[in-house]
C-alpha cells in the first residue's frame, strides 16, 4: 500500500510542481532515488544521522522564510533516509504555505496527503497536529472564498486541534494557532477566548500579544475590534522584543484603528526601515508599504482571513523553548 501511495505522490507532484527544478520538488519529483540500496547496517545508521541533520537545516531555512532552500534540505534528508517521518512533515508545511501564498488548492491537497502519509508516526506530536490543522483551515477558507463546492474539512481541523489539546492542554502555541484559525474561519468570539487561553499559559509571549493585537486592530468585523486593547498589547509586545519590524507594523495598525493616523504613519515608516535593516524581505516590505499607503489615506487596515494562518513551526524538542 505504501508503494502505491508513494507512486501517487510522485506522479501528482510532477504536475503540481511543473516548472520548478527537481531539487525544489518534494522527493525530487521522482528524478532521484534514495541512497538506501546495498548499504551496510553501519552506513544505514550514519544515513539516519545525516537525514536528521538535513531535516534540522530544512526547518532553519523555512523559519528564515526561504521555502525553496528548505525543500532542498528536506530532499537531502530524504536521500539518506526516506523512512524519516520528519521529512514529510517538512514537505507538508512548505506545500501548505505555498498553497496559501499562490492561492493554489492543489498544493494544499498535496500538503494534506503528506500529513496523512506519516500521521500514524507523528500523531503524538502536538506541533504536527497543529500544522496539519492549519492546512485544513487554509484549504477550507480557500474553498469558501473561491466558491468551490468540495467536501468541508473544518471538522477535520477541529478534530486535530482537540487531539493536540488532549496531548498538551497547557501548550501556549496550541491556543495561539487555534485563535488564528478561528479568525480565518469567521469565529471572532472563539478567537478572543483562545487568545486569552494562550496568554493564560504564557503571559509574556510577545508573539501571542502581537497576533492578538493584530486581530483586535484589523479584523473585518467591527464588533470584534478593540483599538485601545490592541494598542496596549502591541506596546507590551514591543517591550519584550524592541524594534521588531513585525511588532511595529502591528502597533501602526493599532494607531490607525484609533484614527491616530500621524502616529500610524510614523510607526509604519519605522517598521519599514527596521525591516530593511534586518531581514529585508521583499514580500514583507511590499505588505508593509501597502499598510502605509492606507494610513496615508487615513484608512485603517483590514485583514484577509488567510493573513492569520501561520504554521506552528514546531519540532518536538522546540515546543517549550520557542513558545
132 grid coordinates: 496539519
Residues 23 and 71 sit within 8 Å (Cβ to Cβ): yes
Buried b or exposed e, range 251-268, using 16+ CB within 10 angstroms:
bbbbbbbbebbebbbebb
1-15, 32-46, 104-118, 261-275: the lowest-pLDDT one: 1-15
Q: Is the pLDDT of residue 14 over 70?
A: no
Ramachandran category for residue 168: left, alpha or beta (phi over 0 → left; psi -120 to 50 → alpha)? beta
pLDDT at residue number 312: 52
Residues 238 and 231 sit within 8 Å (Cβ to Cβ): no
Residue with cell 521529512: 87
Whole-number Cα distances in Å, 268 to 65, 213, 229, 236: 21, 15, 19, 17
Does CATH number 1.20.1630 belong to domain 219-301?
no
What mean pLDDT is predicted for residues 76-89? Answer: 96
pLDDT in tens, 223-280: 999 999 999 999 999 998 887 899 999 999 999 999 999 999 999 999 999 999 987 8
Residue with cell 514529510: 88
Which of 82, 153, 75 has its CA nearest to residue 112?
153
Q: Is the pLDDT of residue 1 over 90?
A: no
Whole-number Cα distances in Å, 79 to 1, 15, 31, 34, 178: 21, 21, 11, 4, 34
CA distance 125 to 164: 8
Q: Is the pLDDT of residue 68 over 60?
A: yes
What mean pLDDT is predicted for residues 22-50? Answer: 91
Of 49-53, 61-65, 141-145, highest mean pLDDT: 49-53
Helical segments of 123-244, H only? 126-146, 154-167, 172-184, 188-201, 206-218, 227-240
Domain boundaries, given as residue ranges, for the chain: 219-301
HEC string of 62-99 equals HHCCCHHHHHHHHHHHHHHCCCCHHHHHHHHHHHHHHH
Residue with cell 507523528: 122
CA distance 115 to 128: 8
pLDDT at residue number 305: 75
Cα 71 from chain centroid (whole Å): 15
Q: Is the pLDDT of residue 25 over 70?
A: yes
pLDDT at residue number 143: 74
pLDDT at residue number 3: 44
Residues 97 and 134 sit within 8 Å (Cβ to Cβ): no
Q: What percent of the chain has pLDDT over 90?
A: 65
Which pLDDT band holds residue 101 (cuts at 50, 70, 90)? confident
Cα 89 from chain centroid (whole Å): 12
pLDDT at residue number 224: 96
pLDDT at residue number 16: 52
Q: Is the pLDDT of residue 191 over 70?
A: yes
DSSP at 28: G
Please tell me the pTM assigned to this model: 0.83
Which pLDDT band holds residue 102 (cuts at 50, 70, 90)? confident
CA distance 167 to 2: 28
Q: Is the pLDDT of residue 317 over 50?
A: no
5-14, 17-26, 199-208: the lowest-pLDDT one: 5-14
Please tell me whether residue 83 adopts helix, strand or coil conformation: coil
Residues 315 and 127 sit within 8 Å (Cβ to Cβ): yes
Amino acid at each position: 500500500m505504501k508503494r502505491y501511495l508513494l507512486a501517487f505522490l510522485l506522479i501528482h507532484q510532477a504536475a503540481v510542481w511543473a516548472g520548478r527544478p527537481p531539487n525544489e520538488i518534494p522527493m525530487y519529483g521522482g528524478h532521484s532515488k534514495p541512497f538506501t540500496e546495498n548499504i551496510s547496517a553501519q552506513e544505514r545508521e550514519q544515513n539516519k544521522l545525516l537525514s536528521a541533520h538535513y531535516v534540522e537545516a530544512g526547518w532553519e531555512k523555512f523559519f528564515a522564510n526561504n521555502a525553496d532552500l528548505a525543500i532542498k534540505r528536506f530532499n537531502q534528508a530524504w536521500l539518506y533516509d526516506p523512512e524519516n517521518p520528519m521529512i514529510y512533515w517538512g514537505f507538508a508545511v512548505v506545500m501548505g504555505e505555498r498553497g496559501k501564498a499562490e492561492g493554489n488548492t492543489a498544493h494544499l491537497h498535496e500538503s494534506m496527503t503528506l500529513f496523512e502519509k506519516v500521521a500514524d508516526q507523528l500523531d503524538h506530536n502536538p506541533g504536527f497536529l497543529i500544522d496539519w490543522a492549519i492546512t485544513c483551515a487554509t484549504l477550507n477558507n480557500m474553498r469558501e472564498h473561491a466558491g468551490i463546492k468540495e467536501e468541508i474539512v473544518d471538522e477535520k481541523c477541529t478534530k486535530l486541534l482537540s487531539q493536540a489539546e488532549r496531548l498538551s492542554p497547557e501548550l501556549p502555541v496550541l491556543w495561539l494557532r487555534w485563535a488564528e484559525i478561528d479568525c480565518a474561519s469567521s469565529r471572532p468570539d472563539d478567537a478572543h477566548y483562545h487568545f486569552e487561553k494562550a496568554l493564560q499559559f504564557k503571559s509574556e509571549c510577545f508573539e501571542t500579544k502581537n497576533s492578538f493585537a493584530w486581530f483586535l486592530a484589523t479584523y473585518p468585523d467591527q464588533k470584534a475590534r478593540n483599538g485601545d486593547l490592541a494598542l496596549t498589547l502591541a506596546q507590551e509586545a514591543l517591550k519584550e522584543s524592541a524594534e521588531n519590524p513585525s511588532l511595529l507594523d502591528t502597533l501602526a495598525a493599532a494607531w490607525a484603528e484609533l484614527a491616530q493616523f500621524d502616529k500610524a504613519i510614523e510607526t509604519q515608516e519605522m517598521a519599514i526601515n527596521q525591516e530593511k535593516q534586518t531581514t529585508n524581505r521583499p514580500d514583507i516590505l511590499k505588505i508593509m508599504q501597502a499598510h502605509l499607503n492606507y494610513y496615508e489615506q487615513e484608512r485603517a487596515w483590514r485583514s484577509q482571513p488567510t493573513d492569520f494562518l501561520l504554521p506552528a513551526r514546531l519540532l518536538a524538542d522546540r515546543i517549550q523553548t520557542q513558545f
